[in-house]
Amino acid sequence: MSFTASVISTQEWGARPPKQWQSETIPQYIIIHHTATPNPPNDLSRGNLASARELARSIQQAHMDGFGWVDSGHNFLNTTGGILLEGRHNSLSTIKRARSIVSAHSGNTKGNESPGIENEGTFTTYQMGARQWNSLVELCTSICSSAKISPDNIKGHRDFSPTQCPGNWLYSQLPRLRQEVRKRLGEPSWDYLREGSTGLKVQELQQLLKAQGFNAGPIDGIFGAGTREALISFQKFHNLEPVGIVGPATWELLTKESKAPEKPTPINLVDTYRYYRSLPHQDQAIDWLRQQVSPAVLEQFAQKWRNEISQTFLPLQEGAVGLEVKQVQQRLLALGFNLGPADGIFGAGTKAGVIAFQKAKGIYADGIVGSKTWTTLNLS
């Protein structure tokens, strides 16, 4: 789902320009606050739009002139009437792009890198009204959806610094808030991976990306810029929203693709292997070849090599090269057929020798070593 909450922008409520523009962050949490101002019927916003705008302006003034901050400290404001307003400039447009604006609501860097929602009122024992609650659910759902934040990561201000905020009652309602957001999102809770994430699952992500041809750099379990770029390419390639964050849809596609059955190797590996075995630089050539095929194919190859050797390389005919040709030549020479040097190259001389041998044994004389000629030569 998309960002459905209706939020009044800083421009719309007549915010002062910030003293300084703030940089973007990659948010992981939503942080819930209360303004610690009077509850209805003495609430500052009076449940109407004009007063809501006025409240936003007065909070900005208090934060800038009173606290000396560069702008409003919070990212969003939810009034008693359920009217939602942008706090710090650009909070609304950036959250729709899965980013947040560095803010000042939570008293520490970790919290300030994620969006903070101020709820008008004092919720120590006072219970939030339905309109304000519904707007809070709507806004949290929109943020979780657009910024790929798990509802599990909806936190209270007190989870980040020593404070009573957002009041005992509202803090006690966070499990219900998370549950309602989960229900609205309609998807199971998900441990999103994003820039800054670390660990085994990130390592797995990097391996999956690499396996599908998206180079994420070193497989180090650290989700950095390289992993993000590779992920965005993957998401674009599969027509997913290219946010650079791994959610359930991206993960499903990553793992499904990698479980696709292996394509059969079109070349005959046994032939290729045998051909290079008789050439200079054979070890390098074979090493290279080995790196190009999966362990499953190599295993298959090894089984063939061990069990079906007399079947897989026959017939030998003019143009063939390798150890088996040399064996045929040595055997023919030993039996008295003159065909020149035993050099492992099936040329005209070898062919003539094979024809002479076939005639002598009453085998169809085509100059090709099939299984019958091979067996008759006592080479199997």
Give the span between the Cα atoms of 67 and 350, in whole angstroms: 97
**Does residue 315 have a cis peptide bond before it, meaning omega lies within 30 degrees of 0?**
yes
The least distance separating Zn ion from the CB of residue 164, rounded to whole angstroms, comes to: 9
| Cβ distance to Zn ion smaller for residue 55 or 165 | 165
| Cβ distance to Zn ion smaller for residue 43 or 118 | 118
Two tokens at 268? 């005959």
| Cβ distance to Zn ion smaller for residue 86 or 324 | 86
| Cβ distance to Zn ion smaller for residue 165 or 209 | 165
Two tokens at 129? 């009204």
The least distance separating Zn ion from the CB of residue 68, rounded to whole angstroms, comes to: 18
The least distance separating Zn ion from the CB of residue 249, rounded to whole angstroms, comes to: 33
Q: Which residues make up the interface to Zn ion (CB under 5 A)?
A: 33, 157, 165
Smallest Cα–Cα separation from 339: which of 282, 377, 378?
A: 377
Give the span between the Cα atoms of 215 and 62, in whole angstroms: 49
The least distance separating Zn ion from the CB of residue 157, rounded to whole angstroms, comes to: 3
| Cβ distance to Zn ion smaller for residue 99 or 157 | 157
| Cβ distance to Zn ion smaller for residue 27 or 322 | 27
The least distance separating Zn ion from the CB of residue 263, rounded to whole angstroms, comes to: 56
β-strands 154-156, 100-101 pairing: unpaired
- How many H-runs (helices) and E-runs (strands) does the chain carry? 17, 8
- Residue 65: exposed, middle, or buried by beta-carbon count in 10 A (0-12, 13-18, 19+)? exposed
| Cβ distance to Zn ion smaller for residue 35 or 227 | 35
Place of tokens 């074979």: 286
Two tokens at 364? 């169809």
Q: Could you report how far apart the first and last alpha carbons of the chain are, in Å?
A: 68
Distances (CA, A) of 322 to 117, 309, 346, 372, 375: 76, 13, 9, 19, 18
CA quadruple 214, 220, 221, 225: dihedral positive or negative? negative
Task: Tell me the three state secondary structure of residue 30.
Answer: strand
Enumerate residues 6+ apart whose C-beta is below 8 A from 279: 285
The least distance separating Zn ion from the CB of residue 188, rounded to whole angstroms, comes to: 29
The least distance separating Zn ion from the CB of residue 33, rounded to whole angstroms, comes to: 3
